[in-house]
Amino acid sequence: MNAESRLSMPVGEAIFTQRAIRRLKPDPIPESDLRDVLEAATRAPSGGNSQPWHFIVVRDAALRQKFGPLYREAWWAKRADSGYHSPEDLPPAYRAAMRLADEIGASPVIVLLCATAKGPGPMGSVIPAAQNLLLAARALGIGGTITTLHAQVEDRVHAMFGIPETAQIVYCLPLGYPRGRFGPAKRKPVSEVCSYDNWDNAFS
C-alpha cells in the first residue's frame, strides 16, 4: 500500500478536526507513518515547482534534548520582542505555547522545515508543505503545530543540525500522538472574512 492509500481519512474530516496539538505523548511514531507524512509534504505546490524545501526529521533523543533549551530561548526572545519578559506578564492565550517551549525536547519527533535559499520567495514556497504535512499527520492520528524560531538562536540551530548558511529554517514542527483531542478549531465565520468581487461586498 502506498502513502496515498494509507492516508484515507476524508479530507473534510482532516481539515475540520485539525488544530494545534502541543501536548504530545512520548510514544514513537512509526517510520512508515513519518514517511507518509513527508511524502504528503513533498506533494505541496511551490513557485515554478522549484521545491526549495528540506525537511530535517529529528528523532534522536539526545539531539531533541539539546534542542529544547534553544527552542525555549527562541520562544522567550520572541515574547521579549513583544514586551513580555516573564510568565506573569503573559496573557493566558500564551500558556499552551509557553508549556510547549518547556517541553518541546520531549516530543517524539521535531521536523525542521527549511528553505534551501534565503528570502521571502523560498520561504513562501515551503509554507504549503507545512500544511500538507500537518493534514497528513492528522489523518494518521498524529498531532503537531507550526512554530517559528528566532534570529537569536539561528546560528546555533544551524550548527547543531548542519544546516547550510545559505538555507533558512522556516518552521519547527513538533509531532506526536496527542494527549488531548483533535479539533474542531475556533475560527471566524466565512461571512466575516470573505466578500464577492469587492472587499466591501458582504458574503451572505
Q: Is 22 in the site for ligand FMN (CB under 6 A)?
A: yes
Q: Is 132 in the site for ligand FMN (CB under 6 A)?
A: no
Q: Is 147 in the site for ligand FMN (CB under 6 A)?
A: yes
> In the structure grid, which three cell numbers stand for residue 37, read together?
507524512
- Residue closer to ligand FMN by CB (options 6, 131) is 131
Question: How far is it, in rounded angstroms, from Cα 31 to Cα 196?
Answer: 45
- Residue closer to ligand FMN by CB (options 35, 181) is 181
Distance of CA 73 to the CA centre of its chain: 18
Task: Output the DSSP codes for 133-184.
Answer: HHHHHHHTT-EE--B---HHHHHHHHHHHT--TT-EEEEEEEEE-BSS---P
- Residue closer to ligand FMN by CB (options 1, 93) is 93
Place of cell 509557553: 98
Residues 152-191 that bind ligand FMN (CB under 6 A): 185-186
Residue among 151, 160, 129, 166 nearest 40 (CA): 129
Q: From the CB of 202, what's the least distance to ligand FMN, in Å?
A: 25
What proportions of the chain, in percent to the nearest 5, are helix, strand and coil? 50, 15, 35
Q: Is 97 in the site for ligand FMN (CB under 6 A)?
A: yes
Planar angle of CA 9, 104, 109, nearest 5 degrees: 45
Q: From the CB of 93, what's the least distance to ligand FMN, in Å?
A: 8
Q: Per CB under 6 A, which region of 7-15, 17-25, 56-64, 195-203 contacts ligand FMN?
A: 17-25
Backbone φ, ψ for residue 110 (5° rounding): -125, 125
How many CB atoms lie under 10 A from the CB of residue 174? 25
**What number of chain residues touch ligand FMN (CB under 6 A)?**
11
Q: Per CB under 6 A, which region of 48-56, 62-70, 144-152, 158-166 contacts ligand FMN?
A: 144-152
Q: From the CB of 3, what's the least distance to ligand FMN, in Å?
A: 24
Contact string (CB under 6 A) for ligand FMN, positions 185-204, x = contact? xx------------------
Chain positions contacting ligand FMN, by CB under 6 A: 19-20, 22, 97, 100, 145-148, 185-186
